[in-house]
Structure 1
Amino acid sequence: MTRGAYSFVRTFAPEFARDLRVDRHYLLCASAGTLRLEAQGQAWLLPPARAALIEADRPIRVSMARPVTTASVLFDTRFAPAPPAPLTVFDLNPLARALLTECGTWGESDEPLPAYAETMFGALAAVTWRLARQPSPVVVPSGRSPELRRALVLTGQRLGDDVRFEDVADDVGLAPRSLARRFADETGMTWRAVLRRMRILAAIEELAAGDAPVTTIAYQVGYASLSAFNAAFRELTGRTPTEYRESFRP
């Protein structure tokens, strides 16, 4: 009999997107570095001290621009109910972190879990399933059509430049009005709103990567002033960039 739940810690080298699908509910927690997760036409960023809850048999795409260390738990579908959504990214609270650490004792094995371990994994599932009902806003659309996906790639490559919507439309072979309709139809957002989110996601990756000054990161992702960057960052995340960075090291 396989365990109803087990934990493991892994370090991954940088790699381009690859597909991932597991037959258990997957609690994926980043402890160092950031991951990009893509599913159902959206892309999430998973920075340190956050977790992703992925439903069993749900295909996702994972990419890592830098080395990443994760602490994860796999739950048998008979041990834990289906998550509240196929994929959510959320903040871990102190209780969830403590339970995750406690569950780290029990890795993959054919031996059944001791009663105490079952209690700890059950408590971890209860807490994180509840947290998953309040997902992180750090998500951007990934697009369905080839033209929109290409527009998103080009926009992401030009965050630090004076990127213009008309230039992006021209490069993907669509009139600006046609591309604007694609954004509205496929994302429910304007290109400029997506651009703001992409800049904040890029900033979070840089905040997690090291100790570069916030001002440097603001200019790097395309903001002309620190005040504008701080305002946009707080609007999306509810925190200043400095507060967000501090939350990586609870």
Structure 2
Amino acid sequence: MQPEAYCVHRSFEPADPSQFEVDRHYLLYALEGTIRLEADGQRWTLPPARAALISAGHPITITVLSKLTSASVLFATEFTKAPDHVLTVFDMSPLARELVRTCRDWGPENGPLSPFAKRIFETLADVVHQLSLVPSQCVLPSPKSEQLKNAVQLTEQLAHADPTFEDIATQSNQSPRALARRFADEMSMTWREVLRHIRIMRAVEALATTDAQITEIAFAVGYGSLSGFNAAFRRQMQMSPTEYRASFTA
């Protein structure tokens, strides 16, 4: 019989999208690598800076974008309260990261939890529930049509450069008018807004997982000036890049 809560520490190679569903509440956390998650018509990128809290019994789609090492925690439904949403992505605090690392000592094969281990898992459950009350702003609606999926994928590939909307339309074999309509109908966003989200999502990952200078990150994700990057970052994240990076050491 599996314990009330346990940690699964595994490595995965990059993989195409697959559906995932478990009968426990699930904290998905990547120590290394990046995952894309999709549920309820939205998509998130999950680097080591963030974690996802997934409600038991609800399917999500997972794409492993780069070689992945995860330390995920599964909670029996009677062990902790249910998450407020099917899937919530949030920034991990230093305390949450250390608790997950500690939980790696207890896997599904270890049997019933000791009183000490139970307190660790209960504390982690309380911490991640609190963190999930402030969900990540790095989220995009999922494109539905193949034409728009192709356009978004091209935008992701070229975001670090200086792509134009006309370039994306041409390379995805669509007219600019038809593509603009698909962005509005399927994502309720313009292409320029999607491009900004992609760039800021990448900047968030770099700020949380590297020591690169903010100016270096700004240019790497596709901005031509630091002031333009700072303004776009604050607009999406409600704080400056410096403030965001500081939050991971607070």
User: Could you say whether these structures have the same fold, taking a TM-score greater than 0.5 normalized by the shorter chain as the test?
Assistant: yes
Contact 1:37–1:60 at 8 Å: present in 2 too? yes
**Take 2:217 and 2:140, find their aligned partners in 1: how far apart are those partners?**
19
TM-score by length of 1: 0.84
Unmatched 5+ residue regions in structure 1? none
With over 3 angstroms needed to count, the CA separation of the structure-2 counterparts of 1:236 and 1:112, relative to structure 1, is same
Query: Residue type matched to 1:91 in 2?
Result: D
User: What is the identity percentage for the equivalent residue pairs of Structure 1 and Structure 2?
Assistant: 51
1:136 is paired with a residue of what secondary structure? coil
Amino acid of the residue matched to residue 64 of structure 1?
L
What's the counterpart of residue 127 of structure 1? 127
The secondary structure found in structure 1 opposite 2:193 is helix
Deviation at 1:125, TM superposition (A): 1.9
Name the counterpart of 2:65: 64
- Distance, in Å, in 2 between the alignment partners of 1:110 and 1:221 is 44
Q: Check 1:76–1:190 CA distance in 2 against 1; reply closer, same or farther (3 A cut).
A: same
Residues of 2 paired with 1:233 and 1:106: CA distance? 39
Compare 144-153 and 180-189 and name the one that shifted more: 180-189
The SS at the match of 2:202 is helix
What TM-score, normalized by structure 2, do the two folds share? 0.84
Residues 1:199 and 1:9: Cα distance change in structure 2 (over 3 Å): same
Deviations 1:53-93 (A, max 9, x none): 1122423213233x443322111233334321111111234
Partner of 2:106: 106
SS in 1 for 2:70: strand
- Partner in structure 2 of residue 220 of structure 1: 220
In 2, the alpha carbon distance for the partners of 1:87 and 1:147 equals 26
Q: CA deviation at 1:198?
A: 0.6
Q: Secondary structure at the match of 2:96?
A: helix
**Aligned twin of 1:17:** 16
RMSD: 2.6
Secondary structure in 1 matching 2:23: coil
Q: What amino acid is the match of 2:24?
A: R
